[in-house]
């Protein structure tokens, strides 16, 4: 009997020893006033931060058009020289980040510029026994809607912004032939008393649809100021060429290769809210 009692006591002791950890754990109350362990070991959020901006500013650009057709069919016959593929442009832009799509920004922009070469501004040629001056420029301008997606880096100050501009504009070729007058006479200004076509000015115009993919690099040293460097391709789908505010030119094969397309590099400075 005593042996049986000892055996029961031993089994009871072993049972209590096995159950003690569970019983002790059940008695410990969870401390909700401190961080939970699982919260300390959560994976770090590696997604890009959100970005908001609203502002506007000025733009300056260096446009590189292909003027080979312009030189062959216009510049060489008219002023006897080739123009460099260079156009300096100025413009402006305003934009705002929309709240419905993270980091999506829309805005509007405008640009205009004229070729760095402008014909024979000092030299003269002989036309119908009269010395005349010829002047020629190539210019381009447009307005566009901009759609950008901001890729903010974790520095908070530097952003990479791919985007596209879609708009409408025109290429203008301005050609002038004139001479110094001895005195003013309105009749002589339009051919009376002088040979025909000595004093004449024409503007040739072709409108275009603009599509411009661009990659922008933006830096905000402070929350209200932002600087931008942009590399883009200015693509244009040209329309019909006309002269002097919409008059028909008939066949325009000589102008069919003159476009507003080419690479463009720009710098901008903006004021607003950038965060």
pLDDT digit string (tens) for 153-189?
766 788 899 999 999 999 999 999 887 777 777 776 6
- Predicted confidence at residue 8, as pLDDT, reads 44
For residues 125 and 134, what is the distance between their CA atoms, to the nearest angstrom?
8
pLDDT at 17 over 80: no
**Strand, helix or coil at 14?**
helix
Tens digit of each residue's pLDDT (9 = 90 or more) over 253-272: 889 999 999 999 999 999 98
Contact predicate 67/138, CB 8 Å: yes
| Average confidence (pLDDT) over 36-53 | 58
Tens digit of each residue's pLDDT (9 = 90 or more) over 58-108: 999 999 999 999 999 999 998 888 999 999 999 999 999 888 888 899 999
Nearest Cα residue to 105 out of 169, 60, 159, 46:
159
pLDDT at 38 over 70: no
**Strand, helix or coil at 174?**
strand
pLDDT at 14 over 60: no
Higher pLDDT, 143 or 251: 143
Burial of 106 (0-12, 13-18, 19+ CB in 10 A): middle
pLDDT at 3 over 60: no
Nearest Cα residue to 266 out of 224, 222, 227, 231:
231
DSSP codes joined into one string, 181-203: -SS--HHHHTTTTS-TTSSEEEE
**Strand, helix or coil at 76?**
helix
| Average confidence (pLDDT) over 112-141 | 80
**Strand, helix or coil at 139?**
strand
For residues 258 and 254, what is the distance between their CA atoms, to the nearest angstrom?
8
Which of the four pLDDT bands, split at 50, 70 and 90, describes residue 132?
confident
Number of H helices, E strands in the chain: 5, 11
Q: Which of 187-191, 200-204, 238-242 has the lowest mean pLDDT?
A: 187-191
**Strand, helix or coil at 98?**
coil
Place of tokens 């890729």: 151
**Secondary-structure breakdown of the chain: helix, strand, coil percentages, each rounded to the nearest 5:** 20, 50, 30
- Predicted confidence at residue 51, as pLDDT, reads 73
């Amino acid at each position: 009997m005593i042996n049986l009692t000892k055996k029961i006591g031993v089994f009871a002791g072993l049972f209590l020893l096995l159950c003690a950890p569970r019983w002790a754990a059940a008695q410990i109350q969870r401390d909700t006033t401190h961080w939970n362990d699982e919260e300390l070991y959560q994976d770090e959020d590696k997604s890009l931060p959100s970005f908001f901006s609203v502002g506007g500013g000025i733009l300056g650009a260096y446009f590189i058009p292909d003027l080979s057709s312009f030189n062959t069919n216009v510049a060489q016959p008219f002023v006897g020289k080739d123009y460099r593929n260079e156009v300096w442009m100025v413009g402006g832009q305003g934009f705002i980040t929309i709240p419905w799509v993270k980091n999506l920004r829309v805005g509007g922009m405008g640009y205009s510029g004229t070729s760095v070469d402008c014909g024979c501004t000092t030299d003269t040629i002989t036309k119908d026994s009269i010395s005349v001056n010829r002047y020629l420029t190539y210019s381009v301008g447009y307005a566009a809607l901009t759609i950008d997606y901001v890729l903010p880096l974790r520095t908070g100050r530097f952003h990479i912004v791919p985007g596209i501009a879609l708009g409408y504009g025109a290429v203008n070729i301005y050609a002038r032939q004139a001479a110094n007058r001895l005195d003013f006479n309105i009749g002589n200004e339009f051919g009376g008393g002088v040979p025909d076509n000595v004093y004449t000015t024409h503007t040739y115009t072709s409108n275009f649809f603009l599509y411009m993919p661009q990659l922008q690099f933006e830096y905000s040293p402070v929350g209200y100021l932002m600087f931008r460097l942009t590399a883009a391709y200015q693509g244009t789908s040209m329309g019909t060429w006309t002269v002097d505010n919409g008059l028909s030119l008939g066949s325009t094969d000589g102008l069919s290769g003159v476009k507003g397309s080419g690479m463009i590099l720009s710098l901008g400075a903006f004021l607003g809210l950038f965060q």
